[in-house]
Amino acid sequence: MIEIKFKIFNSYIEDDDDLKGEYGYFQLCVDDKTYGEYRDDIELDILSMNIYDWFSNFVQAFILLKNNSVVYISDVETSEVWIKMITDEENIQISEVYADKPEGSYSVETDINLDEKNKIWEKTVKVQDFQKELVLKGKQYLSELKKLNSRTNEYIQKLETQLKEIK
């Protein structure tokens, strides 16, 4: 079972933001393992993440998995956490790993040699289930962004284009 949870922090929204609704909770749940934070009851700024970046990075990783067997997503908030995704076309193995981030590395990598120090967890999901959840929650997030921003916002248009590519 895979689930993506997110919650926009309204307290973070300011009139001059390039993208209103960018920050809040984002959590990836795979069976009994999770990465990220999500709470219904309270908005804790210290646990806030860039929701937009996580959606964009997961969509980009999914696209890259079509031609690459391994993709890494860097948690840009930390110095050594990566989400590693390995596919065999039917399944995606998702794991949280610790490895130093090489200087100049990007938020999504395919051709990188990481010295994995520690694997926190590892779970396998069907490619189809991951795709369905990513598209569903991505569209929900886009819907919320459209309520807060102009429809011509470049970030919204970029995420829309990315999501269309994986439908």
Tell me, what's the pLDDT at 83? 98
- Say if residue 11's pLDDT is above 80: no
Tell me, what's the pLDDT at 23? 93
Tell me, what's the pLDDT at 87? 97
Per-residue model confidence as pLDDT tens digits over 131-159: 999 999 999 999 999 999 998 999 999 99
Residue 70 sits at φ, ψ, to 5 deg, of -135, 135
Closest CA to 112 of 147, 70, 143: 70
Q: Which band of pLDDT confidence, cut at 50, 70 and 90, is reported for residue 76? A: confident
Mean model confidence pLDDT for the chain? 94
* 3-state SS class at 1: coil
CATH code: domain of residue 141: 3.30.2450
Query: Quick one: what percent of the chain has pLDDT higher than 70?
Result: 100
Per-residue model confidence as pLDDT tens digits over 104-129: 899 999 999 899 999 999 999 999 99
How many domains, the chain?
1
- Transcribe 100-140 into DSSP letters: ---TT--SEESS------EEEEEEEEEHHHHHHHHHHHHHH
Tell me, what's the pLDDT at 13? 82
**In which domain, by residue range, is 71 found?**
2-166
Tell me, what's the pLDDT at 57? 98
Tell me, what's the pLDDT at 44? 85
Quote the pTM value.
0.94
Give the pairing of strands 70-74 and 49-50: unpaired
Tell me, what's the pLDDT at 107? 96
More confident position, 15 or 40: 40
CA distance 41 to 92: 32
**Host H or E run for residue 34:** strand 33-37
Residue located via tokens 């993709």:
71
